[in-house]
Structure 1
Amino acid sequence: MSATLLIKNALTVRGDGSEPETGSVLVDTEAGTISACGKSAGDGTFVYDAGGAYLFPAFTDIACRFSDPAHAQRDSIATASAAAVGGGFLNLVCLPHQSGEPVTLRPASTPCRILPVIPVSDPSGIDAEKRAVYTDIPSPVTDPGKLKSIMLACRASDSLFIPACLDRGLASDGVMRGGRTAKLLGLAAISESAFLLPLVTALILSAETGCRIHIPAVSDAESVSLVRQAKSRGVPVTCGTSPLYFSMTDNDVFYYGGRARAPPPLGPRRDRESVCEALSDGTIDCISSLHTPLTKPENCQELKKCLFGASGFDTAFSASVTYLLKKNIVTPDRLAALLAVNPAKITGKKAGITPGAPADLVIADTDAETVVSSNTMKSKSVNTPYLGMTLTGCVKAVFSGGVRVF
């Protein structure tokens, strides 16, 4: 007889449009799958009492970065993995290193499942016989003809393409988004065209080729509008955002300096409001951590010398609860869709809490408060603007295939 795990007294959130349901989930720990759900799920060999906490499908992060092996001082595989799992993320779509190499990890080195993203600069780098995820990050393809050829090749293999959506020539040596704060700080502005023109190009080429594309970091009102219009025309595009864009504005750069220097850069309040609206109405499909670890010297110096990026694994869930769920911008079910169901679907995987589904589960308390500090973060890098803030919501337990990994 198979060993079983009964998770009882859980408020189950499926992310499928249904209402949360109080009950139990029975897991076959040998098969690693869910056997039954509901008020009469059965008895288990082992029992975990959720105590009324929420039960979510495990999260999928569709845009994150592990530290380049040449910069292990930022994050080790162990610390980054611990931060990801502690944040509820079991499935990671890791963007390539700055060296251009895809991220690969030994399965035994972490409970996380890594879906490598393959960097390409021309169609010859795409395997026509293999479905995969490709990107032109970290070296954006600026030739529209070449980009179209890449998308045609991706379409032929039913692969997903993640465009960089950055024109470095237009971005030049800008430090932050143009506006009142940039002027007050006397900093060079990054032209909006540096992000919008590549986005428009990607959307047009996706429409022409039928290539599925995913925009990982929609951060401003104009990008939201462009994606919304493209979706209404049937363009096969999905998009994500990260907590910085629905919780902060460019004004926060004034207070938090390099810890709030995100790529794309933060914008004014109307950008944050547009992102929140898009998360609520379905224009934005998922929330990603955009985890980019940096050392203190790399992001705590003169702003124009700081590198772009913020640590995100540890705070993505709590920031989402604090700035979305508690403000009634999204429901618990919508939050499950944004963190788990939708990003899994985009990458060709399944996430859900139904009989037969993988027992990849997250127990979370949406009322617990935590003061973010180096002691509460598992990532080696604490380059986050949330440092010192009180955030609501925390992950209490994580199960992978029915085995507790956090």
Structure 2
Amino acid sequence: MKNLLIKNAVIVNRDGRQTGDLLVRDGLIEAIGEGLPAEGCEVIDARGAYLLPGLVDLHCHLRDPGYEYKEDIFSGTRAAAAGGFTSVLCMANTKPVNDCAAITRYIVEKAQAAGYCKVYPYGAVTKGLEGKELAEMGDMREAGAVAFSDDGAPVDNTRLMEAALLYAGRFDGYIAVHPEDRSLTADGVMNRGVTATVLGLPGISRAAEEGPIARDLILAEENRARVHICHISTAGCVDLIRSAKARGVRVTCETTPHYLTLDDTACEGYDVNAKVAPPLRTPADQEALIQGLLDGTIDAIATDHAPHHIDDKVGEFLTAAKGISGFETAFASCYTRLVKGGFLTLEQLVEKMCWNPARIANIPGGELKAGAIADMFLADGEDWTVDAQRFYSKGRNTPLDGKTLSGRVLMTFQDGRIVHQREEF
């Protein structure tokens, strides 16, 4: 493994920034300072670019095994690295479902062979995601699962959810909840509101998301269990979680770049690439989500990277698959909307996309300091145009295609090794 010296960088952590050099030896950060010796090192002149901890994604779909025509671990982790991610947590809704140790090991070993970023699987809560019987969480934990989720299919049975929360707590795990009342979502395809009415499309109410969150917060509170709420999209979700945290409930939560940067008007023109679950909401919901980030109610920003083959997205809005391919636009979307928009500092964005996710998942990463793993990326604040056809991901399904964003990922490093480099850098 080569030693590495990155010079003239603006080194950003959640608690501040400094301009200087960063020295990597044997995959670990050895020193941060000015005028560090370059002898025996590969030297990279950062030219004043930001050097940030590698992004940690609490929620993505790599589709492998079983749906490799949508994405596979190689293409997915390469796309993640291109987006500045060095660690990702992938959901269990594969085929077969990741509900046993053998599938968990397959995912871990294939990701290690790919080598683009670290992959930490979610094990399924229930066998086959059917919501009828708990999966073998202990076996999956030993095989490499860091937490458990039936994301894509909610655990409707309240008694079974309570049992899952208690069981996961035995080995300090947690349940990541997909909040959805399927009796309320029914045939809905977008947010219930003015835009849905104008488009003549069936809507999905906020209650379909907020009701299940209320249930799971009550269960977590009563059983003193850890629960993580996935991809929240409404002001009501923020209020529920804020209140629960004030009562001492052991809850964390995430939102995504698309809920922070897009609203339901993105569906105008019947743009199937804006169809996602939960649906894009309203500007008022966006404002509440941003306030939740600022006051600590929302702990993390995750991608919910959900790549689809073009055949799954073409055709009518009613039948198109739900999901957005998000790895390669996540940092730039958040930098453009939140940092350049004046809502968050870059340090606060590092907290939400690096430090907090690593702490929630109890995995290494999230900071740049002596002795830490050299998982990091270089970025600048320059404008660039999204071209979905150049994505490393197989999923080109993004409503941002052709849009101009700020914040380019220039290079990504895993354990001090270059795993992605922008062509012109």
Q: TM-score, length-normalised on structure 1?
A: 0.94
Indicate the RMSD between aligned Cα atoms, in angstroms.
1.8
Within-5 A mapping of 1:7-406: 7-15=6-14, 17-18=15-16, 20-28=17-25, 30=26, 32-44=27-39, 45-99=41-95, 101-102=97-98, 104-105=107-108, 106=110, 107-121=112-126, 122-123=133-134, 125-127=136-138, 132-255=146-269, 257-351=271-365, 352-366=367-381, 368-406=382-420
The SS at the match of 1:194 is helix
Percent of paired sites with the same residue: 34
**2:33 partner letter:** G
Cα distance in 2 between the residues matched to 1:43 and 1:256: 55
Distance apart, 1:77 and its partner CA: 2.9
User: Helix, strand or coil for the counterpart of 2:119?
Assistant: strand
Amino acid at match of 1:21: Q
SS at match of 2:407: strand
What's the CA shift string for 1:128-167, capped at 9, x where partnerless? 9858301133432212112111111111221121112112
Match for 2:5: what amino acid?
A: L
What's the CA shift for 1:381? 1.8
For 1:161 and 1:325, locate their aligned partners in 2 and report how far apart those are by CA, in whole Å: 31
Any conservation in 2 of the 1:36–1:42 contact (CA below 8 Å)?
no
- Residue 97 of structure 1 aligns to a residue whose secondary structure is coil
- Deviation of 1:40 after TM superposition, in Å, equals 4.5
Amino acid at match of 1:189: G
Contact kept, 8 Å, 2:8 with 2:21, in 1: the verdict is: yes
1:100 and 1:119 in contact (8 A); partners too: no
- Cα distance in structure 2, aligned partners of 1:344 and 1:115: 11
Comparing 215-224 with 164-173, which one deviates more in the overlay? Answer: 164-173
Q: Which runs of 5+ in 2 are unaligned?
A: 99-103, 127-132, 421-425
- Distance in 1 (alpha carbons) for counterparts of 2:165 and 2:177: 10
Deviations 1:325-368 (A, max 9, x none): 100111010111111111111110232111100011110112x1
- TM superposition shift of 1:96: 1.2
Cα contact 2:67–2:95 (8 A) shared by 1: no
Query: What SS is found at the alignment partner of 2:138?
Result: coil
Where structure 1 has 5 or more consecutive residues not aligned to the other structure, the ranges are: none
CA displacement at 1:193 relative to structure 2: 2.1
Q: Secondary structure at the match of 2:51?
A: strand
The one-letter code of the counterpart of 1:353 is L
Give me the whole-angstrom Cα distance separating, in 1, the residues matched to 2:50 and 2:219: 41
1:68 and 1:97 in contact (8 A); partners too: no
1:256 CA displacement: 5.9
In 2, distance between residues paired with 1:48 and 1:289? 29
CA contact (8 A) 1:66 1:97 kept: no
Is the CA contact (8 Å cut-off) linking 1:67 and 1:97 kept in structure 2? Answer: yes
1:73 to 1:126, Cα distance in 2 relative to 1, 3 A: closer
| Alpha-carbon distance between aligned partners in 2 of 1:314 and 1:256, rounded to the nearest angstrom | 23
